Structure 1
């Protein structure tokens, strides 16, 4: 006996049309794209927080210290040098710069001071050379003690006692710490002469972002935000106003911090453009930057 299929049975056995498949694939693509974009948005938000609520707040605290004390961080009030950590320097062979005994035969300019350029931190943090070449000697003055003595409120940072630190994740998901210090750079320093904020533990991606925020020009040689330890121009006339240099190191090269592997070391970030391991689980190479202060 012959049977007839009902319209309902035909509808049940029917597959997806090309239009329906295209819609499904488009929705899946949108979801995947939204996830990828969401990660970038989250990272940019974290970078913005580091720049605005940490670095910028430390800049404001430094300026407040200057206004309240009439001198820069760690300087002598009665005989200022206008150099960070000036109280630890000596002048024209004198025992202490704050007394300025003798030395009237020479000018009170940086070239006539000794023991200059020591950085003021709250502890050593990264060992010298871990986040780039050019680290200076640690001052005997403590960053946190100086701000507390002056009654200047510091940014919250990682918490009480670690206001100079900020924890974030690098692009490979590894925990990374930014540390703030201050120091004075002698004339001719490529990262900027005068008093600078030292930011240690920056990934290249974060350094580029902060450079763009601070002076609008992501250039590691020029502007108010520069990489520490950059080799100076060779002095030729063509180099005087030559274009700067990018933050070369990328976000896929391993850093050899506290290891003995063959990954690109923190002291040679420029080599990270072409050498070193490129595994997603590796720690991203870290850099040190100098932010030039107005005072």
Structure 2
């Protein structure tokens, strides 16, 4: 899921995929407008009952390619195969949102705790939870691995997925990541009788993980008290961490798979962190904010 804030000049956004109910949890915490094309039955139910501000591309998709004479709100890139070929633009999505009565400008509590000063992770006295992170490998299974390599010149991470360099589709530039957050969780198969392999992903509660930036990695625990609450990230002492100013890539992966972090002289692998470490910072679950976007 891509989140765009104050981006008004993006002429091609996508590929846009179908909605899933666990993605709605992120929509809620960002008070975002959810652009998708189709949805699972579970997401369809949540979109209606929770009154999510969503834009379903199935209602606006021409099923045709875009050209100068035929500029559709959603369009298909015929160089690609469905379902990986549906696109729109920020202008188009904004115009649709206005027609549907959604607020397109608002003030809302920030989700990430960004720092104006550069953050360089260091061990504190008596703790050794910060390690060098020149290369990180993490994946969903053995045939779907991600690799992140640190570029010292730009102080960012370069991503490969399944051995292929991740690049911005239009410019061809390498995708650079300032803040990398890797979280490990559990998922279960949804037995809805359709046998389509749909899953339920746990992203509410406490998740173990890592915050990685500027060539260092630190163990963290992410906490989201309810579907409506903002995800907050804590160190193992229970303090909310600050992130570097820049883009943030959050990867949520199975806890049964390993995260391998390699430095110049060391290699570390993931292991479970006790949730009790941040219990002293647990927050009270809140009801939906009155500023939440509604249909």
Normalized against structure 2, the TM-score is what? 0.25
Larger proportion of helix: 1
Give the structure, 1 or 2, with the largest relative contact order (CA under 8 Å, sep 6 or more): 2
Normalized against structure 1, the TM-score is what? 0.25
